[in-house]
């Protein structure tokens, strides 16, 4: 396993968890292009070894805090999500039948499917925070309202790293007051 990629991913996940103030039971979605990490164009050079290193780093960080991890598949599987069956059951999420592969779903989602205790695929989630490694477009799987989070780590390997947390929507008019701790 590539220890440098493992450490970058682990450190980035820990920073995001802290910045987003994620608590046990929260959901973190990750979209990851192993091609981009390797320095190639997204979708052209899927690499399971790279994906395993990055997955392991992130998975170890979320397990430390009791957070659920969701792995976004690539567009060939309509950006379906691989999660633990326990999360799907807890949140009454309808499962779909697909097993990701490196060239149809992506290497990161394949790694998740292979390492989760009881993996399943679903089409839609609303995650509390997200990591986009290599411009994979995770926004469709985040709760409203997404807020960018800047980390010390801006790349994993050669891939851009963009992170987000979410916050509750502010509603009301001119007389409304808001809980600043939720901003």
* Domains in the chain, number: 1
Give the per-residue pLDDT at 171: 86
Instruction: Give pLDDT, residue 165.
Output: 98
Alpha carbons 166 and 143: distance in angstroms, whole number: 6
Question: What's the number of CA atoms in the CB half-sphere (13 Å) around residue 130?
Answer: 32
pLDDT at 177 (0 to 100)? 85
CATH number of the domain encompassing residue 158? 3.40.50.10360
Q: How far apart are CA 182 and CA 51, in angstroms?
A: 33
Instruction: Tokens for 7, please give them.
Output: 């450490």
Q: What is the pLDDT of residues 37-49, one digit of tens each?
A: 999 999 999 999 9
| β-strands 146-149, 68-72 pairing | unpaired
Mean per-residue pLDDT, 98-105:
94
Residue 98's domain comprises 3-168
In a domain, 176, yes or no: no
The mean pLDDT of the chain is 96
pTM above 0.75, yes or no: yes
Q: 155 and 133 in contact (C-beta within 8 Å)?
A: no
């Amino acid at each position: 396993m590539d220890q440098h990629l493992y450490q970058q991913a682990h450190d980035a996940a820990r920073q995001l968890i802290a910045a987003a103030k994620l608590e046990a039971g929260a959901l973190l979605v990750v979209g990851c292009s192993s091609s981009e990490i390797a320095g190639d164009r997204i979708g052209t050079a899927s690499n399971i070894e790279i994906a395993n290193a990055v997955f392991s780093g992130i998975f170890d960080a979320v397990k430390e805090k009791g957070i659920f991890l969701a792995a976004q598949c690539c567009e060939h599987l309509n950006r379906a999500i691989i999660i633990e069956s326990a999360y799907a059951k807890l949140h009454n999420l309808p499962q779909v039948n697909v097993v990701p592969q490196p060239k149809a779903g992506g290497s990161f989602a394949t790694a998740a499917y292979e390492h989760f205790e009881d993996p399943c695929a679903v089409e839609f989630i609303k995650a509390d925070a997200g990591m986009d490694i290599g411009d994979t477009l995770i926004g469709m799987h985040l709760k409203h309202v997404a807020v960018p989070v800047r980390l010390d780590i801006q790349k994993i390997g050669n891939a851009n790293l963009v992170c987000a947390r979410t916050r509750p929507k502010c509603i009301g008019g001119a007389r409304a007051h808001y809980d600043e701790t939720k901003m």
